[in-house]
Chains A and B, each alone.
Chain A
């Protein structure tokens, strides 16, 4: 299943490499990747992802991405997947199509 992920990423050395590496390692292939220029020390990355097998779960990936120290916010456009209880409250906060998958770390 193809899903999109939008990530707000700090403009830090290695941040993009860390993000891409994690997504690939956790069992997703990156079909498209778009990164805007950084402003105010952060930039937005949007990816279309395909899971390598049926066992891969986008919500879990979103939470793994959110653990990265350089990630300021994670949004997913997939409205079907179940939302983990601790992030359900945040779901409403997402703009339109995008719901925030994880609260910011700090």
Chain B
């Protein structure tokens, strides 16, 4: 390990600081200097007792610290930044309540395979295990939802262990890595050093020629193939490869929630999202297919519906960057773990004869296209969302919350890239939208970042309006207010005999007034004729802005596959 040059290690970044006596270098300085050396420029966090040494060391650092108003938001904002850049987002909190507040955000990153570094303060080593003030075993609590975690016990190993944590978070199938930092380690004397080159995980393996030949043979025999695209395509950097494969083969494709944006949005053979709120053309194509080429998807129950009747007549070629996904839920005739781009490029289609099938799928796609001519003069959310994404164009980035509005975004918005659709897919965590939008807008201030949220979800992290205001974040917030927990209400309507239990949010605050109180520009949209002007105002705003849009509480998401049913049995309006 190389010692950093003296100018980098002492705390003399400002003239005022230069006049102060040089400060003792501690483990906390090593943490900060290591993050800087690794190229981190921004961390999201919230201070408190055990992490205070790190906050002390932040003074004079080149790191931009974003003070959120709840630790969960720090994790969600870091998550969004990571999804957009592919580099680990960093969040920071104190021990005990700070650490437990992060857990939802960690789980979110884990279930969506997002690279993230979580730094938590911990009580001093000698007090660990004694139920000390603000002691919780976050190392143990987070174990099921991290890719890896460490407790740093030796201050001299801080650079090396943090560098390795980044390599783990970003390598292979990405995920969150938690670093627990006992306070005594942060306060101990330490000499910041440059982190060594971390040992890298083995790169993705390449499939054998015989496996590729077997896949090619299976494809040649197929008359009704479907490409089933998931989030693993983005993780594996294989978006272009998937688009090439689609063009080269003409195989109809469907996408999961996390796979949206992988296919080119204007591709004729792309049939849309499958699953519980998938379109008819997509679900029927999968149901009738004789070969499902699963690419970076994991047979999640929201996508498959009843598993034993999912693609009942199909053989499976399962391509994934993560070998542990193959055969997990559906046995694959051919499992190809490794570099998705190389695998797709290795599957030839010289004998493919699927013109009739392709035409049928495309014809169905047009026949069952969504309709936007809803009666009445109220705002029809699907139409507004479609229009919003089209006006915003290729720079549209949506940070969604969870509920009906999230599903409408998935169904009706146009995404030029998969990273532009930020959604809590695996965890389905209400509260994601606003902090994720903040993280995204700070990362891509040039883009049209819109948080699309509901009247239920926004209340889970509404305090982050203060963060948006403080940093002048160029975020647009589209709040679709149906005065209810709409998605739950829809399920109660159809699957619980219309017994509407605890979903009525009739007494919501006036959200435009709430935004005003935070110092944020806001306006309310009551009717359809106001929509075009509202979209213009939102997209042309420079700072944070909120559009409070009143929609019909009875509006539902269609189609809908009832829980436990087969995707072929979808309900429609």
The A interface is mostly helix, strand or loop, or mixed, namely helix
Q: Most chain-A CB neighbours within 10 Å: which of B207, B327, B336?
A: B327
Inter-chain CA distance A97–B335, complex, in Å, is 25
Q: Which residue of A lies closest to B211 (CB)?
A: A85
Complex: A102 Cα to B153 Cα, angstroms = 31
The answer on a CB contact under 8 Å between B201 and A57 is no
Q: Is there a chain A Cβ closer than 8 Å to B322's Cβ?
A: yes
The yes or no answer to A13 lying at the interface (CB within 8 A) is yes
Contacts of B334 in A (CB 8 A): 85
CB pair A69 B148 closer than 8 Å: yes
Q: Does the CB pair B327–A57 fall under 8 Å?
A: yes
Q: Which residues of B contact A67 (CB under 8 A)?
A: 173, 322, 324
How long is the Cα–Cα vector from A66 to B323 in the complex, in angstroms? 10
Using A18-B143, A84-B335, A106-B200 as known contacts, say yes or no to A66 and B324 having CB atoms under 8 A apart.
Answer: yes
Answer whether residue B140 sits at the interface, using C-beta atoms and an 8 A cutoff.
yes
Say yes or no: B336 contacts A14, CB within 8 Å: no
List residues of chain B with CB within 8 A of the CB of A59: 327
Interface-centre pick from B149, B199, B207, B328 (highest chain A CB count, 10 A): B328
Asked if B336 contacts A105 (CB within 8 A), the reply is no
**Cα A68 to Cα B336 with chains together (Å):** 21
Tally the A-B contacts, defined by beta carbons under 8 Å.
66
Known: A67-B322, A69-B168, A86-B337. A25 touches B144 (CB 8 A): yes
- Report B411-426 residues with CB < 8 Å from chain A CB: none
Q: Is the CB of A86 within 8 A of B338?
A: yes
Evaluate contact between A13 and B151: CB separation under 8 angstroms: yes
Contacts of A69 in B (CB 8 A): 147-148, 168
Q: If the complex has contacts A13-B151, A17-B143, are A84 and B327 also in contact, measured as CB distance less than 8 A?
A: yes
Contacts of B201 in A (CB 8 A): 105-106
CB contacts (< 8 Å) of B205 on chain A: these are 86, 103
Is B151 a contact partner of A86 (Cβ separation < 8 A)? Answer: no
Q: Which residue of B is nearest A69, CB measured?
A: B148
Q: In this assembly, does A60 line the interface, its C-beta being within 8 Å of a C-beta of chain B?
A: yes
Q: How many residues of A contact B (CB 8 A)?
A: 25
Considering the complex, give the chain B residue whose CB is closest to the CB of A55.
B329
Nearest to A24 among chain B residues (CB) is B144
**B533 interfacial by beta-carbon distance below 8 Å:** no
**Does A64 reach chain B (CB closer than 8 Å)?**
yes
Q: A106–B199 contact, CB under 8 A?
A: yes
Q: Chain B: how many interface residues by the 8 Å CB criterion?
A: 31
CB distance from B513 to the nearest CB of A (A): 46
Given the interface contacts A69-B168, A105-B201, does A86 sit within 8 Å of B143 by beta carbon? no
Asked if residues A60 and B144 are in contact (CB atoms below 8 Å), the reply is no
Flag whether B150 is at the interface (Cβ < 8 A).
Answer: yes
Partner of B335, one of A85, A102, A103: A85
Assess the B324–A64 pair: CB atoms within 8 A.
yes
Which of B143, B151, B211, B336 has most chain A Cβ within 10 Å? B143
Residue interface mask B153-193, A partner, CB < 8 A = 1: 10000000000000010000100000000000000000000
Compute how far the CA of A30 lies from the CA of B337 in the bound complex, rounded to whole angstroms: 28
| A33 close to chain B: CB less than 8 A | no
Distance, CA A82 to CA B331, complexed state (A): 10
A residues less than 8 Å from B149 (CB atoms): 14
Whether, in the assembled complex, A87 has its beta carbon less than 8 Å from a beta carbon of chain B, the answer is yes
Asked whether B202 lies within 8 Å of A105 as measured between CB atoms, the reply is yes
Query: Contact: A17 with B338, CB < 8 Å?
Result: no
Contacts of A13 in B (CB 8 A): 139, 150-151, 153
Query: How long is the Cα–Cα vector from A17 to B143 in the complex, in angstroms?
Result: 9
Within 41-82 of A, Cβ neighbours of B (below 8 Å) are at 57, 59-60, 63-64, 66-69, 82
Taken residue by residue from 16 to 52, chain B's Cβ proximity to chain A (1 for < 8 Å, 0 otherwise) reads as 0000000000000000000000000000000000000
* B569 CB to nearest chain A CB (Å): 22
Residue of B139, B148, B323 with most chain A CB atoms under a 10 A cut-off: B323
Evaluate whether A57 and B328 lie within 8 angstroms (CB atoms) in the complex, with A13-B150, A84-B337, A86-B207 already known. Answer: yes
Distance from B457 Cβ to chain A, minimum over Cβ atoms (Å): 28
Minimum distance in angstroms from A27 CB to a CB of chain B = 11
Determine which of B139, B207, B211, B323 lies in contact with A63 in the assembled complex, contact meaning CB atoms within 8 Å: B323
Flag whether A95 is at the interface (Cβ < 8 A): no
Given known A-B contacts A105-B202, A106-B199, A84 and B323 have beta carbons under 8 A apart: yes
CB distance from A18 to the nearest CB of B (A): 6
- A25–B327 alpha-carbon span in the complex (Å): 17
Q: How far does the alpha carbon of A67 sit from the alpha carbon of B338 in the complex, in Å?
A: 14
Q: Are A86 and B200 in contact (CB under 8 A)?
A: no
Query: Are A14's CB and B324's CB within 8 A?
Result: no
| Contact of A63 with B199 at beta-carbon distance under 8 Å, contacts A85-B211, A85-B336 already known | no
Q: Which residues of A contact B328 (CB under 8 A)?
A: 57, 60
Of all chain A residues, the one with the shortest Cβ separation from B200 is: A106
On B, residues with C-beta under 8 Å from A are 139-140, 143-144, 147-151, 153, 168, 173, 199-202, 205, 207-208, 211, 322-324, 326-328, 334-338
The 4 A-B pairs at the shortest CB distance, nearest first, are namely: A63-B324, A69-B148, A86-B337, A64-B324
Given contacts A13-B150, A69-B148, A86-B207, 9 further A-B contacts (CB under 8 A): A14-B143, A17-B140, A57-B328, A66-B323, A67-B322, A85-B211, A103-B202, A106-B199, A106-B200
